[in-house]
Amino acid sequence: MRLLISNIKTLAGIADKGLLRLHGSEMQCLGTIDNAWLLVENGLISFFGSMNDMPSEGFAVDKEINAEGCIVMPSWCDPHTHIVYAGSREGEFVDKIMGLSYAEIARRGGGILNSADLLHATSEDELYRQAMRRAEEIMRKGTGCVEIKSGYGLNTADELKMLRVIRRIKESVPMRVVSTFLGAHAIGRQYSHDEYVDLIINEMLPEVGHEKLADYVDVFCDEGFFTPEDTDRILEAAARWGMKPKIHVDELAATGGLPVGVKHGALSVDHLENMPESEFDILKNSGTMPTVLPGTSFFLNMPYAPARKMINAGLGVAVASDYNPGSTPSGDMKFVVSLACIKMRLLPSEAINAATINAAYAMGLSGDYGSIAPGKVANFFITEPIPSVDFIPYAYTSPIVSRVFLGGKEIV
């Protein structure tokens, strides 16, 4: 199957297959070709170039699309979501407007524990149905790779139920899905802190590991949740099952989780709203991608992570939606890119690289996804006719995605 897209106003997000992530000032380089063509063969990106140099012969294609006036972008990659959840929590949304903080709601037994109660009362099929609606929503908005976490089970049976739902989503969508075991999201209602950490290590991780239900492991290492010592123990136990960490740190307070993540070779450390600058050096020369979640700061009315300063210090940064019922009920990566520009002062090129190539890296997928490169999976979208790439974050509520291709096939 050969698909040719011709007369593309701008083909954006070109980066070599061998380039796994971008650091510091490199993040300003959004490889582009104006007036371009793109050839897709058997689900992979095969060739592209300027229309002026398009070979006039030898293009026996099955389908041609004239993309005049439109931009072609690599699909968004969203490396941090919690889209498997039951119901919603708009009651807490109102509580927050009335003055309660996210941490206060959690201390009163609401928050994540509310979602755990709802999930417990929801059948696996119904949970799958609700989560698939969210998966379909984000695909239509241009997301082509997504990480999905467990963490609303908080007992062994319900954590496994969530991970089985993630596996079903993986098997049924054209989007690339990776799964993360986040048993350490909050202390399950029926356990003490220490009992629960022991349960994760001695029961949950072995079951998840045996059934190969998770690619990665996560811990909410923060004030009022799990300590750096808990995190160290959980990550060490997960390593025995081959699960690399991607952890929540420095959201509510800087409690020392980041160095623990880096020590265990974390693929990413996420949130970072309260990250001290002294942690920048720990990330330098590490394989760990700081991943910031501007939608969470927007929704919780909290400080934004210091992404601008990290990039100025030479670090690479990724962005993610954090789509979840409590702190970010949205998986709109275009809006996340706009917030990264407006609130974190990233340039459009930096924010787009943070949401594509660097975000793919934060899921361990940037060898095959996250940029336009020969040999990579053909995950991309064609925009509506728009004036420029910068228009994408600028027009911060205008829908710009016109046609979505995943694995070279158009989704409808």
Measured from the CB atom, the residue of 141 and 248 that comes closer to ligand NIG is 248
Give, in degrees to the nearest 5, the angle at Cα 306 between 177 and 359. Answer: 20
Task: Work out whether 218 is an interface residue with ligand NIG (CB under 6 A).
Answer: no
User: Using CB distances below 5 to 8 A depending on partner kind, what does residue 112 bind out of Fe ion, ligand NIG, none?
Assistant: ligand NIG
Q: What single string gives the DSSP state of each residue in 351-399? A: HHHHHTHHHHHTTT-TTTSSSB-TTSB--EEEEEE-S-TTHHHHSTTS-
Q: How far is the CB of 130 from ligand NIG (least distance, A)?
A: 14
Measured from the CB atom, the residue of 322 and 332 that comes closer to Fe ion is 322
The residue among 295, 298, 323 whose CA lies nearest residue 134 is 323
Our measurement of the distance from residue 24's CA atom to the centroid of its chain's CA atoms, rounded to an integer in Å, reads 20
Contact 31, 13 (CB under 8 A): yes
Binding mask 306-335 for Fe ion (x = CB under 5 A): ----------------x-------------
The piece of 11-19, 20-28, 110-118, 125-133 that touches ligand NIG (CB under 6 A) is: 110-118
Q: How many CA atoms lie within 13 A of 285 on its CB side?
A: 2
Task: Work out whether 158 is an interface residue with ligand NIG (CB under 6 A).
Answer: no
Residue 323 CA: distances (Å) to CA of 135, 272, 333: 10, 16, 10
Q: How far is the CB of 246 from ligand NIG (least distance, A)?
A: 11
Number of residues that bind Fe ion (CB under 5 A): 1
- Residue from 13, 74, 79, 111 that binds ligand NIG (CB under 6 A)? 111
The piece of 63-71, 109-117, 155-163, 330-338 that touches ligand NIG (CB under 6 A) is: 109-117
- Residue from 6, 10, 75, 115 that binds ligand NIG (CB under 6 A)? 115
What are the φ/ψ torsions at residue 6 (nearest 5 degrees)?
A: -120, 165
82 is in an annotated binding site: yes
The residues in 49-88 that bind ligand NIG, with binding defined as CB under 6 A, are 82
Task: Work out whether 209 is an interface residue with ligand NIG (CB under 6 A).
Answer: no
State both tokens at 323: 């789509």
- What is the distance between the alpha carbons of residues 92 and 277, in angstroms, rounded to a whole number? 32
- What is the distance between the alpha carbons of residues 365 and 357, in angstroms, rounded to a whole number? 9
Task: Work out whether 250 is an interface residue with Fe ion (CB under 5 A).
Answer: no
| List of residues contacting ligand NIG (CB under 6 A) | 82, 111-112, 115, 220, 248, 251, 296, 322, 324-327
Binding site per annotation, positions? 80, 82, 89, 152, 185, 248, 251, 322, 324, 326-327
